[in-house]
Structure 1
């Protein structure tokens, strides 16, 4: 047989019933499902400065807890799980509307974020950013006064900050410097104070994107980059969202390309650098093609041509030949566009028309073009198997057996289709063979059809 038939038959025979839901992406061989919840180790879910709750922790006075913190259920016990803590927070009346420090709001936002509660996370992270706004505004104003002069480090400016110092206190130091006309010192101290705010900003941008608001996410990433243009995570996040959501906007794609390039330049040893390099190349190709739609169309056409050339050069023998890696890759990598899916459906319908008229060779030609792309398509498998039976091909028994075992209902429906198209003789022959080869399948229904 020709190699297109070999490709279709090999794909069909290799197909195994899947336990995944319809439309689920394939799971690579050897991959095991292992759902995990975000780790809350190290007490990171608790607000900054919260006393540890380990082992024989001494009793904690309610007065020592931050304002609005849910009451502890006891003392000397293991810390609550993330779910328990979230339930306590959710049940605390008026918590969202209460006044909070930056640290408390940021900690609450982080807790909701790492547990997939993106809308709630945004609420608290936004409150944290609001508390940080005076320091942010101060930094931008003092940086503008400096012009092209670099902002010194907090150490060089002798800000005197200590670990864990609240944002408000650090902001006050920067404000005092600004009042004295020390723009460099004020900018340095304000920038150091904003370090946790930048982390919060990226987290909020991520939460917004995951919550489906990509436009707001881009604004949030931009706010971080306004303070720190070389912020690696913000650059990478913004570039990724631009590429994901603005695939036809060439200006946005060029901005994404610049972002991925910057990530590589800032930290070549970063875990993101290799991915940023690949993404930069892909974005560049997309821009040159004129947008994502044109790029995908071009790639699909290239693969179609390569596949057609491989099939045309195949030997015409009635046996399965080993498939080349190029052929397998061409099929697996072909973009599953709506146009391709519609074309495959039309080929199946034409194949059924050929079967009803006894044109088995023509029908087989249609099905061998469909099965490599849709090896689990029961309708196509049934049609291909019946075409091979009609032609009396040596591999007909094997292919028919696969079709009957994997989807006997599809084989039965093929008989219904033949009958509808006027091929009563073909329909009866198909049902008789199905009844003989699958004696346990729909005995009553098939017998009723054969008795007509």
Structure 2
């Protein structure tokens, strides 16, 4: 991308008309060029060309001019991002100069990638302006199609060249619309808008990072108007609504619906689990009538819990297997003070998200054979979520990996309480690159649960 930005910058810096003689080397910004002498002679003080005369001797094809410093085999390295930004910042009139979509978007991305989000917004806007007509055309033609799907650009035979510009692609879509080809016009317009949508998402992110939350929401909405399933815009818009509209019940419900749509459309996304949790939080907050009322309800629930006496602690032999085993190497036995502290901890969205993150970290440790680190992560989760089958499965497998004395007992508890979570842990290990660990887990599950309902599928995974 840096090389493309270099070309874009060079094009911008050389866009103005020049009064330099033909083939004159470019003059740096801020330096005045000597006017050409009458009759084509060299300006006064100009060094003579090799071989004498007023014109340079013709060079062999592909060779450098006489006296040019040698270049490396790979050619001159492009300037760094810092050098480009300094040159752009010092270029007079750059902000208002007319630009193509490609140049404006490249400048915006350069500023954005280097942390100058406020500066990037203007260039992103300039890029988007090049596709205003194409955007309106797409929405119009898609409306004409009704429930009919928009074909792909290949299916519609838009015939775009590999290096076709956004403006040129938009013209093709306009021609299709003039001929009454709604499907073809929509297909070509949508293809033309693909790079524009990328720019709009970046502009929305830049607005958010610059503190303009409402502006970010507006632009995310524009993206979803064209691409309702867009992964980044769908999640980000819902997250910003949940974060900033805590007292707006309608906005919270919109955030909940957005998170639900995200999970349905992108179930394999790394953010799918987080979207589920945030969607539930948004729904609960909306049902409570806003964040302040939700907090008040949580505080009242906590007050009620504190007013109730704790059950007497039972000896280990009288405890359920999971709790007794936890005190024998899985998780330390909880004292009344510890139980009290856990019960009185408010279950905030931040806490729930943190616990989910710990479970993910535990799974990553398991996949890398770091069983001690995995066990430490699960020990922080299980006291708060004793019914979390995913965490119990991970803790059991960590103890098996460490060869702890109570490993088989903890494993049995995990299998008997949620065998499906144990099987899914194998899928997670496999997805994270631990093929051997996944097969070992599935094999152990087969031996531990002979009546497992999904036994045939489990056998196929354990012995492919």
Q: TM-score by structure 1 length?
A: 0.55
Match of residue 340, structure 2, among 327, 350, 370: 327
Give the deviation of 1:287 after TM superposition.
1.3
Distance of 2:295 and 2:11 partners within structure 1 = 61
Shift of 1:286: 0.8
Q: Take 1:48 and 1:186, find their aligned partners in 2: how far apart are those partners?
A: 34
Matches within 5 A, 1:143-222: 143-222=142-221
CA contact (8 A) 2:235 2:259 kept: yes
Deviations along 1:338-359, one digit per CA (max 9) or x if unpaired, are xxxxxxxxxxxxxxxxxxxxxx
Q: Distance in 2 between matches of 1:237 and 1:72?
A: 43
Mapping for residues 29-108 of structure 1, pairs under 5 Å: 43-44=1-2, 46-47=4-5, 67=15, 76-108=75-107
Q: Report what 1:6 is aligned to.
A: none
- Per the alignment, in what secondary structure is the counterpart of residue 79 of structure 1? coil
> Counterparts of 1:233-248 in structure 2 under 5 Å?
233-248=232-247
Instruction: Give the Cα–Cα distance (whole angstroms) in 2 for the partners of residues 307 and 89 of structure 1.
Output: 62
CA deviations on 1:151-178 (whole Å, 9 max, x unpaired) are 1110110011233321011111111212
CA separation of 1:281 and 1:167: change in aligned 2, threshold 3 A: same
Residues 428-443 of structure 1 mapped to structure 2, 5 A cutoff = none
Q: CA deviation at 1:85?
A: 2.1
Q: How far apart are 1:307 and its partner, in Å?
A: 4.7
Runs of 4+ in 1 over 6 A off after TM superposition: 63-66, 70-75, 310-314
**Alpha-carbon deviation of 1:323?**
6.1
Segments of 5+ residues of structure 1 without an aligned counterpart are 1-42, 52-61, 315-320, 336-452
User: In the alignment, which residue of structure 2 is the partner of 1:264?
Assistant: 263
Q: Which residue of 1 aligns with 2:126?
A: 127
Q: Structure 1 134/303 Cα, relative in aligned 2: closer, same or farther at 3 Å?
A: same
- Structure 2 gaps of 5+ residues are 17-25, 30-68, 314-333, 349-464
Q: Kindly state the Cα deviation for residue 127 of structure 1 after the two structures are TM-superposed.
A: 0.7
Relative to structure 1, the CA distance from residue 310 to residue 99 in structure 2 (aligned partners, 3 Å threshold; closer, same or farther) is farther
1:260-409 equivalence runs, <5 A: 260-307=259-306, 309=308, 322=335, 324-330=337-343, 333=346
Residues in 1 aligned to 2:266 and 2:11: alpha-carbon distance in whole angstroms: 45
SS in 2 for 1:280: helix
Alpha-carbon shift at residue 310 of structure 1 (Å): 6.5
The alpha-carbon deviation at position 130 of structure 1 amounts to: 0.7
Q: Residues 166 and 277 from structure 1, CA distance in 2 versus in 1: closer, same or farther, beyond 3 angstroms?
A: same
| Cα distance change, pair 299–80 in 1 and its aligned pair in 2 (3 A) | farther
| Residues 400-434 of structure 1, C-alpha deviations (whole Å, 9 max, x = no match) | xxxxxxxxxxxxxxxxxxxxxxxxxxxxxxxxxxx
Count of matched residue positions in the alignment of Structure 1 and Structure 2:
277
Once residues 100 and 228 of structure 1 are traced to their aligned partners in structure 2, the CA distance between those partners, rounded to angstroms, is 26
Match of 2:42 in 1: none
In the alignment, is the contact (CA less than 8 A) between 1:263 and 1:272 conserved in 2? no
Q: CA 1:48 to 1:176, structure 2 compared with 1: closer, same or farther past 3 Å?
A: farther
Q: Residues 131, 155 of structure 1: CA spacing in aligned structure 2 closer, same or farther, 3 A cutoff?
A: same
Q: Shift in Å at residue 83 of structure 1?
A: 2.5
- Distance (whole Å) between structure 1 residues aligned to residue 173 and residue 158 of structure 2: 8
Distance in 1 (alpha carbons) for counterparts of 2:6 and 2:267: 32
- Alignment of 1:118 with 2:108, yes or no, is no
CA distance in 2, matches of 1:130, 1:71: 32
1:139 aligns with 2:138: yes
In 1, distance between residues paired with 2:118 and 2:156? 39
Q: Equivalent residue for 2:421?
A: none
8 Å CA contact 1:260–1:277 kept in 2: the answer is yes
Higher relative contact order (CA 8 A, sep 6+): 1
1:236-267 deviation digits (Å, cap 9, x = unpaired): 11111111111111111111111111111112
The structure-2 alpha-carbon separation of the partners of 1:187 and 1:194, relative to structure 1 and needing over 3 Å to count, comes to same
Partners of 2:274 and 2:257 in 1: how far apart? Answer: 14
Shift of 1:144: 2.1
- TM-score w.r.t. the length of structure 2 is 0.54
